[in-house]
Amino acid sequence: MPRKKVARSKAPGRSARRKNEVEHTLERGTEHFGEEVHRLGERLSRKMEKKGEEWDSWFHSTFGILGPVISSIFGLVILGLAVWALMFVNMPVGSGALYNIQYFLLANMGLFFLIFMFFSYSSYFSKVSPRLYMPFSPIVTAAGISIGFWFAVHAINITNLSLEISLLSDTALFMEKNLFLIFCFFLFVGYMVLLVKIGTGKAVGMAGEKTIERRSVVSVAKRFESGKARRLYRSGQDRILGGVCGGIAEYLGIDPTIVRILWVIGTLAWGFGILLYIIMWIIVPRNPSHKWD
């Protein structure tokens, strides 16, 4: 009698496990890539903010309470130069839209100067006395948003002179009539946010996030402690962007400057350096023994 074939359940083979490992590595690398790009942007913004604060502190310490007046005059001069540039550009063109923009700027020069003064003195008092400025910060924010809507009204009206779309004109008219209500709404929201900040504090949740990050680094380090083969990691100690060149230098035992020079030469000569760097940034894992905060 012919033997019956018995169906056997096949366990996942080595190829399936290898595929899962590769997918997991790529997923982890993509997460690290996005996280490090975000941190890089934060570092650059902090540096720019620090430079701006140094400039503000020097400006305010030098000119004192007259500093906002000087900066407002400087802003008005720049606005005047912009109007002059529009006039120069529009002379051969004869555009009605450019003429309307020019007329709007010239007709509201005094108002623009008051706006510059308002925000300059707000910035000045926020630096001089942050505690006293805090109760007035929602007013400044609401005023800024309302001025933005005011700009939007005039921009729509100028644009709609050539388009003649009734919906745009109705929208501009509605916003213009309700500018005070817009101001009151954002003022209310600003004070609600301020009360929440005062009640909860700014540092809530930071300690927990740092603890989770440290635990994840330790778990990754323990995961690779048993492996005896050398692995290529991205360096967290010697890195400019993602630590790829530093990691290659640590793996080869050479100066990272040499790797960076070769990367620049490859980028300039063949143009593949940037793409290769991003790919390795995603694929090559972090060094678990380095600090990545």
Residues in the chain, total: 293
In what helix (H) or strand (E) does residue 290 lie, and over which residues does it extend? none
The pLDDT value recorded for residue 272 is: 64
Chain-centre distance for alpha carbon 13: 45
The pLDDT value recorded for residue 210 is: 42
The pLDDT value recorded for residue 41 is: 76
In what helix (H) or strand (E) does residue 293 lie, and over which residues does it extend? none
Instruction: Determine the Cα–Cα distance for residues 290 and 292; give it in Å rounded to an integer.
Output: 6
Per 3-state DSSP, the chain is made up of helix, strand and coil in percentages (nearest 5) of: 80, 0, 20
Residue type, 167: L
The pLDDT value recorded for residue 53 is: 67
- Cβ partners under 8 Å of residue 254, min gap 6: none
- Closest-CA residue to 38 (of 291, 221, 285, 292): 292
The parts of the chain modelled with pLDDT lower than 70 are: 1-13, 52-61, 201-230, 267-273, 292-293
Report which DSSP code applies to 284: S
Q: Are 67 and 124 in contact (CB under 8 A)?
A: yes
The pLDDT value recorded for residue 52 is: 66
Instruction: Determine the Cα–Cα distance for residues 36 and 28; give it in Å rounded to an integer.
Output: 12
Instruction: Determine the Cα–Cα distance for residues 24 and 30; give it in Å rounded to an integer.
Output: 10
The pLDDT value recorded for residue 206 is: 38
Residue type, 40: L
Instruction: Determine the Cα–Cα distance for residues 63 and 79; give it in Å rounded to an integer.
Output: 22
